[in-house]
A and B are shown apart, each in its own frame.
Chain A
Amino acid sequence: MANYATSQFKNGLKLMLDGNPCSIVNNEIVKPGKGQAFNRVKFKDLITGKSLIKTFKSGESLEGADVMELDMQYLYNDGSAWNFMDPETFEQYAIDDDAMDDARGYLVEQDMCTVILWNDNPISITPPNHVILEVVDTDPGLKGDTAGTGGKPATMNTGVVVQVPLFISIGEQVKVDTRTNEYAGRS
Protein backbone atom coordinates (compact mmCIF):
# COMPACT_ATOMS: atom_id res chain seq x y z
CA MET A 1 0.00 0.00 0.00
CA ALA A 2 1.19 3.52 -0.74
CA ASN A 3 2.25 5.93 1.97
CA TYR A 4 0.39 9.16 2.53
CA ALA A 5 2.09 12.36 3.74
CA THR A 6 0.27 14.80 6.04
CA SER A 7 -0.28 17.14 3.07
CA GLN A 8 -2.45 14.41 1.48
CA PHE A 9 -4.55 13.82 4.60
CA LYS A 10 -8.27 14.37 4.07
CA ASN A 11 -11.49 13.18 5.65
CA GLY A 12 -12.31 9.59 4.79
CA LEU A 13 -8.71 8.61 3.95
CA LYS A 14 -7.99 5.11 5.31
CA LEU A 15 -4.62 4.67 7.01
CA MET A 16 -2.83 2.11 9.17
CA LEU A 17 -2.37 3.21 12.77
CA ASP A 18 -0.85 0.95 15.43
CA GLY A 19 -1.65 -2.06 13.23
CA ASN A 20 -5.33 -1.26 12.77
CA PRO A 21 -7.03 0.28 9.71
CA CYS A 22 -8.44 3.72 10.60
CA SER A 23 -10.41 6.36 8.77
CA ILE A 24 -9.71 10.12 9.08
CA VAL A 25 -12.70 11.89 10.62
CA ASN A 26 -11.15 15.33 11.00
CA ASN A 27 -7.77 16.78 9.99
CA GLU A 28 -6.75 20.05 11.67
CA ILE A 29 -3.58 21.90 10.67
CA VAL A 30 -2.06 23.71 13.63
CA LYS A 31 0.79 26.13 13.04
CA PRO A 32 1.90 27.85 16.22
CA GLY A 33 3.04 31.48 15.94
CA LYS A 34 6.51 30.24 16.68
CA GLY A 35 7.31 26.71 15.68
CA GLN A 36 6.65 24.15 13.04
CA ALA A 37 3.29 23.01 11.69
CA PHE A 38 1.45 19.96 12.97
CA ASN A 39 -1.62 18.01 11.88
CA ARG A 40 -3.97 17.11 14.71
CA VAL A 41 -6.01 14.26 13.31
CA LYS A 42 -9.11 12.50 14.62
CA PHE A 43 -9.41 8.89 13.46
CA LYS A 44 -12.01 6.18 13.73
CA ASP A 45 -10.54 2.73 14.27
CA LEU A 46 -12.43 0.58 11.75
CA ILE A 47 -12.00 -2.59 13.81
CA THR A 48 -12.86 -1.40 17.31
CA GLY A 49 -15.06 1.52 16.23
CA LYS A 50 -13.30 3.73 18.78
CA SER A 51 -12.13 7.23 17.92
CA LEU A 52 -8.65 8.49 18.69
CA ILE A 53 -6.64 11.66 18.17
CA LYS A 54 -3.02 11.80 17.03
CA THR A 55 -0.71 14.69 16.24
CA PHE A 56 1.81 14.51 13.41
CA LYS A 57 4.66 16.75 12.35
CA SER A 58 3.97 18.22 8.94
CA GLY A 59 5.70 15.95 6.46
CA GLU A 60 5.31 12.71 8.43
CA SER A 61 3.66 9.91 6.49
CA LEU A 62 1.54 6.86 7.24
CA GLU A 63 0.89 3.66 5.35
CA GLY A 64 -2.45 3.52 3.56
CA ALA A 65 -4.92 0.82 4.61
CA ASP A 66 -6.30 -1.50 1.96
CA VAL A 67 -9.89 -0.89 2.94
CA MET A 68 -12.96 -1.19 0.74
CA GLU A 69 -16.56 -0.46 1.50
CA LEU A 70 -18.97 -2.70 -0.42
CA ASP A 71 -22.71 -3.22 -0.55
CA MET A 72 -23.39 -6.92 -0.01
CA GLN A 73 -26.45 -9.08 0.32
CA TYR A 74 -26.88 -11.15 3.48
CA LEU A 75 -27.57 -14.75 2.48
CA TYR A 76 -27.74 -17.08 5.51
CA ASN A 77 -26.08 -18.17 8.73
CA ASP A 78 -24.69 -21.70 8.57
CA GLY A 79 -24.17 -22.00 12.32
CA SER A 80 -20.49 -21.04 12.29
CA ALA A 81 -20.43 -18.02 9.98
CA TRP A 82 -22.60 -15.37 8.41
CA ASN A 83 -22.59 -15.57 4.63
CA PHE A 84 -22.73 -12.53 2.36
CA MET A 85 -22.53 -12.05 -1.39
CA ASP A 86 -21.21 -9.21 -3.51
CA PRO A 87 -24.09 -8.85 -6.02
CA GLU A 88 -21.75 -7.50 -8.69
CA THR A 89 -19.13 -10.25 -8.67
CA PHE A 90 -21.30 -12.95 -6.98
CA GLU A 91 -18.30 -13.57 -4.76
CA GLN A 92 -19.29 -14.90 -1.34
CA TYR A 93 -17.79 -13.95 2.00
CA ALA A 94 -18.14 -15.91 5.24
CA ILE A 95 -17.93 -13.60 8.23
CA ASP A 96 -16.98 -14.83 11.70
CA ASP A 97 -19.31 -14.25 14.57
CA ASP A 98 -16.90 -11.86 16.36
CA ALA A 99 -16.85 -9.38 13.45
CA MET A 100 -20.61 -9.04 13.69
CA ASP A 101 -20.98 -6.88 16.82
CA ASP A 102 -24.50 -5.51 17.15
CA ALA A 103 -25.27 -6.13 13.48
CA ARG A 104 -26.30 -9.74 14.15
CA GLY A 105 -29.59 -8.64 15.71
CA TYR A 106 -30.73 -6.95 12.50
CA LEU A 107 -29.71 -9.33 9.73
CA VAL A 108 -32.57 -10.38 7.53
CA GLU A 109 -31.91 -12.73 4.62
CA GLN A 110 -31.74 -10.90 1.26
CA ASP A 111 -31.17 -7.47 2.91
CA MET A 112 -28.34 -5.30 1.55
CA CYS A 113 -25.67 -4.40 4.13
CA THR A 114 -22.51 -2.30 4.00
CA VAL A 115 -19.45 -4.46 4.53
CA ILE A 116 -15.97 -3.06 5.13
CA LEU A 117 -13.16 -5.26 3.81
CA TRP A 118 -9.59 -4.88 5.00
CA ASN A 119 -7.01 -6.84 3.00
CA ASP A 120 -10.07 -8.59 1.54
CA ASN A 121 -11.31 -9.71 4.98
CA PRO A 122 -14.62 -8.38 6.31
CA ILE A 123 -14.07 -6.31 9.46
CA SER A 124 -17.39 -4.59 9.95
CA ILE A 125 -21.01 -4.92 8.86
CA THR A 126 -23.60 -2.14 8.88
CA PRO A 127 -27.19 -3.31 8.38
CA PRO A 128 -29.72 -1.09 6.53
CA ASN A 129 -31.09 1.79 8.65
CA HIS A 130 -34.47 0.07 8.86
CA VAL A 131 -35.24 -3.64 8.90
CA ILE A 132 -38.45 -5.65 9.19
CA LEU A 133 -38.36 -8.13 12.08
CA GLU A 134 -40.92 -10.55 13.49
CA VAL A 135 -41.97 -10.50 17.13
CA VAL A 136 -41.42 -13.97 18.62
CA ASP A 137 -42.06 -13.16 22.25
CA THR A 138 -43.78 -10.36 24.20
CA ASP A 139 -46.34 -10.12 27.00
CA PRO A 140 -49.85 -9.72 25.71
CA GLY A 141 -51.35 -6.22 25.66
CA LEU A 142 -51.22 -3.91 28.67
CA LYS A 143 -49.84 -6.53 31.02
CA GLY A 144 -46.38 -5.89 29.62
CA ASP A 145 -46.40 -2.22 30.62
CA THR A 146 -44.49 -2.76 33.84
CA ALA A 147 -42.47 0.44 33.56
CA GLY A 148 -45.54 2.59 32.84
CA THR A 149 -43.88 3.85 29.68
CA GLY A 150 -46.68 2.89 27.37
CA GLY A 151 -44.33 0.35 25.81
CA LYS A 152 -43.14 -3.18 26.48
CA PRO A 153 -40.09 -5.26 25.56
CA ALA A 154 -40.44 -7.64 22.63
CA THR A 155 -37.98 -10.26 21.44
CA MET A 156 -37.52 -10.40 17.67
CA ASN A 157 -36.80 -13.39 15.46
CA THR A 158 -33.15 -12.33 15.33
CA GLY A 159 -32.84 -12.34 19.13
CA VAL A 160 -32.69 -8.58 19.59
CA VAL A 161 -35.06 -7.04 22.18
CA VAL A 162 -36.89 -3.87 21.16
CA GLN A 163 -39.29 -1.65 23.11
CA VAL A 164 -42.65 -1.79 21.22
CA PRO A 165 -46.11 -0.24 21.77
CA LEU A 166 -48.61 -2.22 23.89
CA PHE A 167 -50.81 -3.19 20.93
CA ILE A 168 -48.09 -5.26 19.25
CA SER A 169 -48.48 -9.03 19.67
CA ILE A 170 -46.50 -12.18 18.90
CA GLY A 171 -46.21 -13.00 15.20
CA GLU A 172 -46.47 -9.37 14.01
CA GLN A 173 -43.90 -7.81 11.69
CA VAL A 174 -42.45 -4.51 12.87
CA LYS A 175 -40.03 -1.98 11.44
CA VAL A 176 -36.94 -1.33 13.59
CA ASP A 177 -34.37 1.47 13.31
CA THR A 178 -31.03 -0.34 13.50
CA ARG A 179 -29.09 2.79 14.52
CA THR A 180 -31.10 3.37 17.70
CA ASN A 181 -32.72 -0.03 18.24
CA GLU A 182 -36.12 1.72 18.28
CA TYR A 183 -39.51 0.63 17.04
CA ALA A 184 -40.32 2.58 13.86
CA GLY A 185 -43.82 1.38 13.04
CA ARG A 186 -45.82 -1.65 12.00
CA SER A 187 -44.69 -3.21 8.79
Chain B
Amino acid sequence: MIHALMNMREDLKKYSDFLQKIRHFFSQQNVIEVQTPALLNAPTTDVYIDSISLSVNQDIYPKTQYLHTSPELEMKKLLTQGSGDIYQICQVYRDNEFGERNFNEFTMLEYYRLGFDIHQLIDDVSSLLVDLGIKDEVVKLSYAQVFAQFSDIDILNANFDDLRTIAQAHGLSTEFDWIEDLQIMLFVHLIEPKLKQLPVCFIYDYPSTQAALAKVKGQVAHRFELYLSGVEVANGYDELQSSESYQRVFKVENDRRRHLGKSVLELDLDFLKQLENSLPQCSGVAIGINRLISQIS
Protein backbone atom coordinates (compact mmCIF):
# COMPACT_ATOMS: atom_id res chain seq x y z
CA MET B 1 0.00 0.00 0.00
CA ILE B 2 2.74 2.44 0.99
CA HIS B 3 4.65 1.36 -2.09
CA ALA B 4 1.62 2.13 -4.26
CA LEU B 5 1.31 5.56 -2.69
CA MET B 6 4.98 6.25 -3.37
CA ASN B 7 4.49 5.26 -7.01
CA MET B 8 1.52 7.59 -7.30
CA ARG B 9 3.58 10.46 -5.92
CA GLU B 10 6.44 9.61 -8.30
CA ASP B 11 4.13 9.45 -11.30
CA LEU B 12 2.53 12.78 -10.41
CA LYS B 13 5.96 14.35 -9.94
CA LYS B 14 7.08 13.05 -13.33
CA TYR B 15 4.03 14.54 -15.02
CA SER B 16 4.45 17.82 -13.15
CA ASP B 17 8.14 18.02 -14.19
CA PHE B 18 7.12 17.34 -17.76
CA LEU B 19 4.65 20.27 -17.73
CA GLN B 20 7.33 22.47 -16.12
CA LYS B 21 9.73 21.68 -18.96
CA ILE B 22 7.11 22.68 -21.52
CA ARG B 23 6.44 25.95 -19.69
CA HIS B 24 10.16 26.64 -19.40
CA PHE B 25 10.61 26.03 -23.15
CA PHE B 26 7.97 28.64 -24.00
CA SER B 27 8.94 31.23 -21.41
CA GLN B 28 12.50 31.21 -22.80
CA GLN B 29 11.08 32.20 -26.19
CA ASN B 30 8.64 34.77 -24.88
CA VAL B 31 5.61 32.71 -25.82
CA ILE B 32 3.02 33.49 -23.17
CA GLU B 33 0.61 31.07 -21.55
CA VAL B 34 -3.10 31.82 -21.94
CA GLN B 35 -6.35 30.28 -20.76
CA THR B 36 -9.47 30.44 -22.89
CA PRO B 37 -13.03 29.33 -22.07
CA ALA B 38 -13.79 25.62 -22.30
CA LEU B 39 -17.54 26.25 -22.32
CA LEU B 40 -18.58 27.67 -25.69
CA ASN B 41 -21.73 28.91 -27.40
CA ALA B 42 -20.97 27.15 -30.68
CA PRO B 43 -19.85 23.57 -31.34
CA THR B 44 -17.04 22.64 -33.72
CA THR B 45 -18.10 22.18 -37.34
CA ASP B 46 -15.35 19.63 -38.02
CA VAL B 47 -17.04 16.79 -39.92
CA TYR B 48 -15.55 13.97 -37.86
CA ILE B 49 -15.20 15.64 -34.46
CA ASP B 50 -18.27 15.89 -32.27
CA SER B 51 -18.70 18.41 -29.46
CA ILE B 52 -20.18 17.33 -26.15
CA SER B 53 -23.20 19.52 -25.45
CA LEU B 54 -24.66 20.36 -22.08
CA SER B 55 -27.63 22.29 -20.77
CA VAL B 56 -26.89 25.04 -18.31
CA ASN B 57 -28.94 27.50 -16.28
CA GLN B 58 -31.93 25.16 -16.29
CA ASP B 59 -33.64 27.10 -13.50
CA ILE B 60 -33.20 30.62 -14.83
CA TYR B 61 -32.37 30.87 -18.48
CA PRO B 62 -31.86 27.45 -20.03
CA LYS B 63 -29.39 27.26 -22.88
CA THR B 64 -27.12 24.75 -24.60
CA GLN B 65 -23.38 25.07 -24.28
CA TYR B 66 -20.57 23.04 -25.82
CA LEU B 67 -17.30 21.88 -24.32
CA HIS B 68 -14.38 22.90 -26.52
CA THR B 69 -12.90 20.12 -28.68
CA SER B 70 -9.75 22.24 -29.04
CA PRO B 71 -8.92 25.80 -27.92
CA GLU B 72 -8.18 26.80 -31.53
CA LEU B 73 -10.87 29.35 -32.30
CA GLU B 74 -10.71 31.01 -28.89
CA MET B 75 -6.94 31.36 -29.19
CA LYS B 76 -7.31 32.75 -32.70
CA LYS B 77 -9.63 35.40 -31.29
CA LEU B 78 -6.74 36.46 -29.03
CA LEU B 79 -4.34 36.44 -31.98
CA THR B 80 -6.58 38.80 -33.98
CA GLN B 81 -6.55 41.17 -31.01
CA GLY B 82 -2.77 41.38 -30.90
CA SER B 83 -1.85 38.71 -28.34
CA GLY B 84 1.36 37.77 -30.12
CA ASP B 85 2.90 34.31 -29.61
CA ILE B 86 0.73 32.26 -27.23
CA TYR B 87 0.37 28.72 -25.90
CA GLN B 88 -2.17 26.86 -23.83
CA ILE B 89 -2.23 23.55 -22.00
CA CYS B 90 -5.80 22.43 -21.36
CA GLN B 91 -8.23 19.57 -21.17
CA VAL B 92 -10.37 19.15 -24.28
CA TYR B 93 -13.51 17.10 -24.76
CA ARG B 94 -14.83 15.11 -27.71
CA ASP B 95 -17.89 12.94 -28.15
CA ASN B 96 -17.80 9.59 -29.98
CA GLU B 97 -14.17 8.87 -29.22
CA PHE B 98 -13.36 5.31 -28.31
CA GLY B 99 -10.30 3.10 -28.48
CA GLU B 100 -6.89 2.38 -27.07
CA ARG B 101 -5.63 5.89 -27.77
CA ASN B 102 -8.85 7.89 -28.10
CA PHE B 103 -10.67 9.33 -25.13
CA ASN B 104 -13.57 11.69 -24.47
CA GLU B 105 -11.22 13.89 -22.45
CA PHE B 106 -7.54 14.47 -23.07
CA THR B 107 -4.86 17.09 -22.55
CA MET B 108 -3.82 19.31 -25.41
CA LEU B 109 -0.91 21.68 -25.85
CA GLU B 110 -1.77 24.22 -28.51
CA TYR B 111 0.52 27.04 -29.60
CA TYR B 112 0.85 29.72 -32.25
CA ARG B 113 3.99 31.44 -33.56
CA LEU B 114 3.62 34.65 -35.54
CA GLY B 115 5.55 34.88 -38.81
CA PHE B 116 6.44 31.13 -38.76
CA ASP B 117 5.84 28.88 -41.74
CA ILE B 118 5.31 25.15 -41.10
CA HIS B 119 9.01 24.32 -41.51
CA GLN B 120 9.99 26.83 -38.83
CA LEU B 121 7.27 25.41 -36.60
CA ILE B 122 8.48 21.83 -37.27
CA ASP B 123 11.98 22.93 -36.17
CA ASP B 124 10.49 24.53 -33.06
CA VAL B 125 8.49 21.39 -32.15
CA SER B 126 11.68 19.37 -32.72
CA SER B 127 13.56 21.48 -30.14
CA LEU B 128 10.67 21.07 -27.70
CA LEU B 129 10.96 17.28 -28.13
CA VAL B 130 14.70 17.48 -27.40
CA ASP B 131 14.00 19.46 -24.21
CA LEU B 132 11.50 16.78 -23.21
CA GLY B 133 14.11 14.05 -23.68
CA ILE B 134 13.29 12.79 -27.18
CA LYS B 135 16.67 12.96 -28.88
CA ASP B 136 16.13 10.52 -31.76
CA GLU B 137 16.89 11.49 -35.32
CA VAL B 138 14.16 13.68 -36.79
CA VAL B 139 12.87 12.48 -40.15
CA LYS B 140 10.93 14.90 -42.37
CA LEU B 141 8.99 13.55 -45.31
CA SER B 142 6.29 15.09 -47.46
CA TYR B 143 2.93 13.29 -47.75
CA ALA B 144 3.83 12.47 -51.37
CA GLN B 145 7.23 11.11 -50.30
CA VAL B 146 5.85 8.73 -47.66
CA PHE B 147 3.43 7.29 -50.21
CA ALA B 148 6.23 6.96 -52.77
CA GLN B 149 8.55 5.37 -50.22
CA PHE B 150 6.13 2.93 -48.56
CA SER B 151 3.78 2.17 -51.48
CA ASP B 152 3.83 2.88 -55.20
CA ILE B 153 1.00 5.40 -55.09
CA ASP B 154 1.41 8.86 -56.61
CA ILE B 155 -0.95 10.30 -54.00
CA LEU B 156 -1.09 13.90 -55.26
CA ASN B 157 -1.93 12.91 -58.83
CA ALA B 158 -4.06 9.81 -58.29
CA ASN B 159 -7.74 10.57 -58.87
CA PHE B 160 -10.75 9.11 -57.06
CA ASP B 161 -11.03 6.16 -59.49
CA ASP B 162 -7.30 5.38 -59.31
CA LEU B 163 -7.52 5.21 -55.53
CA ARG B 164 -10.67 3.08 -55.64
CA THR B 165 -8.84 0.58 -57.86
CA ILE B 166 -5.93 0.49 -55.40
CA ALA B 167 -8.26 0.06 -52.41
CA GLN B 168 -10.02 -2.77 -54.21
CA ALA B 169 -6.71 -4.49 -54.95
CA HIS B 170 -6.01 -4.45 -51.21
CA GLY B 171 -9.48 -5.85 -50.46
CA LEU B 172 -10.60 -2.60 -48.83
CA SER B 173 -13.86 -0.67 -49.05
CA THR B 174 -14.27 1.61 -52.05
CA GLU B 175 -17.44 3.27 -50.85
CA PHE B 176 -16.42 6.81 -50.10
CA ASP B 177 -18.15 10.10 -50.75
CA TRP B 178 -14.95 12.14 -50.76
CA ILE B 179 -11.50 11.40 -52.08
CA GLU B 180 -9.73 12.53 -48.90
CA ASP B 181 -11.40 9.81 -46.81
CA LEU B 182 -10.02 7.25 -49.26
CA GLN B 183 -6.57 8.89 -49.14
CA ILE B 184 -6.70 8.70 -45.35
CA MET B 185 -7.76 5.05 -45.35
CA LEU B 186 -4.84 4.13 -47.61
CA PHE B 187 -2.56 6.11 -45.31
CA VAL B 188 -3.90 4.23 -42.27
CA HIS B 189 -3.62 0.85 -44.02
CA LEU B 190 -0.37 1.14 -45.97
CA ILE B 191 1.71 3.95 -44.48
CA GLU B 192 1.03 4.32 -40.77
CA PRO B 193 2.19 0.77 -39.84
CA LYS B 194 5.53 1.53 -41.58
CA LEU B 195 6.00 4.68 -39.50
CA LYS B 196 6.45 2.51 -36.38
CA GLN B 197 10.12 2.11 -37.38
CA LEU B 198 10.69 5.90 -37.24
CA PRO B 199 10.96 7.33 -33.69
CA VAL B 200 10.34 10.93 -34.79
CA CYS B 201 8.72 11.61 -38.15
CA PHE B 202 7.15 14.82 -39.43
CA ILE B 203 4.93 14.49 -42.48
CA TYR B 204 4.15 17.74 -44.29
CA ASP B 205 2.43 19.16 -47.39
CA TYR B 206 -0.85 17.26 -47.30
CA PRO B 207 -3.05 16.99 -50.42
CA SER B 208 -5.15 20.14 -50.79
CA THR B 209 -8.24 17.96 -50.30
CA GLN B 210 -7.13 17.53 -46.65
CA ALA B 211 -6.44 21.23 -46.07
CA ALA B 212 -8.78 21.75 -43.10
CA LEU B 213 -7.83 25.21 -41.78
CA ALA B 214 -4.40 25.33 -43.46
CA LYS B 215 -3.31 27.48 -46.40
CA VAL B 216 -3.25 25.81 -49.81
CA LYS B 217 -0.54 26.39 -52.43
CA GLY B 218 -1.04 24.47 -55.67
CA GLN B 219 -1.58 20.76 -54.97
CA VAL B 220 -0.69 20.89 -51.30
CA ALA B 221 -1.94 22.31 -48.02
CA HIS B 222 0.70 23.69 -45.68
CA ARG B 223 -0.01 21.27 -42.88
CA PHE B 224 2.09 18.79 -40.96
CA GLU B 225 1.61 15.94 -38.56
CA LEU B 226 4.08 14.46 -36.11
CA TYR B 227 4.30 10.71 -35.67
CA LEU B 228 6.28 9.21 -32.80
CA SER B 229 6.92 5.52 -33.55
CA GLY B 230 3.79 5.38 -35.67
CA VAL B 231 1.53 7.21 -33.22
CA GLU B 232 0.04 10.50 -34.40
CA VAL B 233 0.92 13.10 -31.78
CA ALA B 234 0.61 16.56 -33.35
CA ASN B 235 -1.14 18.41 -36.12
CA GLY B 236 0.08 21.81 -37.35
CA TYR B 237 -1.03 24.39 -39.93
CA ASP B 238 0.07 27.55 -41.64
CA GLU B 239 -3.21 29.13 -40.55
CA LEU B 240 -5.86 30.60 -42.81
CA GLN B 241 -6.14 34.34 -42.20
CA SER B 242 -9.26 35.94 -43.67
CA SER B 243 -12.78 35.70 -42.32
CA GLU B 244 -14.02 34.62 -45.78
CA SER B 245 -11.61 31.68 -45.91
CA TYR B 246 -12.88 30.40 -42.55
CA GLN B 247 -16.51 30.90 -43.59
CA ARG B 248 -15.84 28.87 -46.72
CA VAL B 249 -14.36 25.94 -44.74
CA PHE B 250 -17.14 26.00 -42.13
CA LYS B 251 -19.76 25.96 -44.88
CA VAL B 252 -18.17 22.96 -46.63
CA GLU B 253 -17.92 21.14 -43.29
CA ASN B 254 -21.54 21.83 -42.49
CA ASP B 255 -22.65 20.68 -45.96
CA ARG B 256 -20.80 17.44 -45.35
CA ARG B 257 -22.31 16.98 -41.92
CA ARG B 258 -25.73 17.39 -43.56
CA HIS B 259 -24.79 14.82 -46.23
CA LEU B 260 -23.77 12.34 -43.50
CA GLY B 261 -27.01 12.91 -41.61
CA LYS B 262 -25.16 14.58 -38.74
CA SER B 263 -26.43 17.67 -37.00
CA VAL B 264 -25.81 20.88 -38.92
CA LEU B 265 -24.25 23.40 -36.63
CA GLU B 266 -24.50 27.07 -36.06
CA LEU B 267 -21.29 28.91 -36.95
CA ASP B 268 -19.28 30.75 -34.36
CA LEU B 269 -20.40 34.17 -35.57
CA ASP B 270 -18.47 35.88 -32.85
CA PHE B 271 -15.30 34.30 -34.20
CA LEU B 272 -16.07 35.24 -37.81
CA LYS B 273 -16.81 38.81 -36.80
CA GLN B 274 -13.55 39.12 -34.91
CA LEU B 275 -11.71 37.81 -37.94
CA GLU B 276 -12.78 40.82 -39.97
CA ASN B 277 -9.43 42.20 -38.82
CA SER B 278 -7.84 39.01 -40.24
CA LEU B 279 -5.56 36.71 -38.34
CA PRO B 280 -1.88 37.73 -38.49
CA GLN B 281 0.21 35.28 -40.53
CA CYS B 282 1.11 32.51 -38.10
CA SER B 283 1.54 28.77 -37.79
CA GLY B 284 -0.06 26.78 -35.01
CA VAL B 285 0.10 23.24 -33.74
CA ALA B 286 -1.94 21.03 -31.43
CA ILE B 287 -0.02 18.36 -29.51
CA GLY B 288 -1.66 15.48 -27.65
CA ILE B 289 0.09 15.57 -24.29
CA ASN B 290 -1.05 12.12 -23.13
CA ARG B 291 0.19 10.45 -26.31
CA LEU B 292 3.43 12.44 -26.18
CA ILE B 293 4.23 11.45 -22.60
CA SER B 294 3.40 7.81 -23.30
CA GLN B 295 6.06 7.84 -26.03
CA ILE B 296 8.65 9.25 -23.60
CA SER B 297 8.31 6.96 -20.60
Contact = CB atoms under 8 A, between A and B. Distances in A.
Contacts of A33: 225, 232, 235, 286
B123 to A, nearest CB: 20
Interface stretch (B10-18, B178-186, B276-284): B178-186
Interface string B141-177: 0000000000000000000000000000001110110
Q: From A29, A32, A53, name the one whose CB has the most chain B CB atoms within 10 angstroms.
A: A32
Interface string B64-86: 00000000000000000000000
Nearest to B190: A55
A37 interface: yes
Interface string A3-45: 0000100000000001000000000111111111110100000
B193 interface: yes
A30 B181 CA distance: 13
Interface string A35-76: 111101000000000000111110010000000000000000
B61 interface: no
A46 B98 CA distance: 29
Interface size class of B (residues with CB under 8 A): 20 to 34
Contacts, number: 66
Interface string B231-251: 010010000000000000000
A36 B100 CA distance: 16
Nearest to B231: A30
Given A18-B171, A37-B48, A55-B172, A32 B212 contact: no
A18 B48 CA distance: 29
Contacts of B102: 29, 31, 37
Contacts of B97: 31
A179 B142 CA distance: 45
B62 interface: no
Contacts of B171: 18, 54
Contact of B193 (A31, A38, A53, A57): A53
B193 A35 contact: no
A19 B184 CA distance: 27
Interface size class of A (residues with CB under 8 A): 20 to 34
B192 interface: yes
Interface in B164-218: 171-173, 175-176, 180-181, 184-185, 187-189, 192-193, 210, 212
Given A36-B48, A57-B173, A60-B173, A30 B188 contact: yes
B99 A40 contact: no
A55 B173 CA distance: 8
Interface string A102-125: 000000000000000000000000
B239 to A, nearest CB: 14
A29 B99 contact: yes
A35 B184 contact: yes
A35 B181 contact: yes
B180 A35 contact: yes
Contacts of A18: 171
Contacts of A34: 46, 48, 210, 212, 235
Interface of A: 7, 18, 28-38, 40, 53-57, 60
Given A31-B48, A33-B235, A34-B48, 9 more contacts: A29-B99, A29-B102, A30-B99, A32-B184, A36-B47, A38-B189, A53-B193, A54-B189, A55-B185
26 contacts: A7-B98, A28-B100, A29-B98, A29-B99, A30-B192, A31-B102, A32-B184, A32-B232, A33-B225, A33-B232, A34-B48, A34-B210, A35-B180, A35-B181, A36-B47, A36-B48, A36-B181, A37-B48, A37-B102, A40-B188, A40-B193, A54-B171, A54-B172, A56-B172, A57-B173, A57-B185
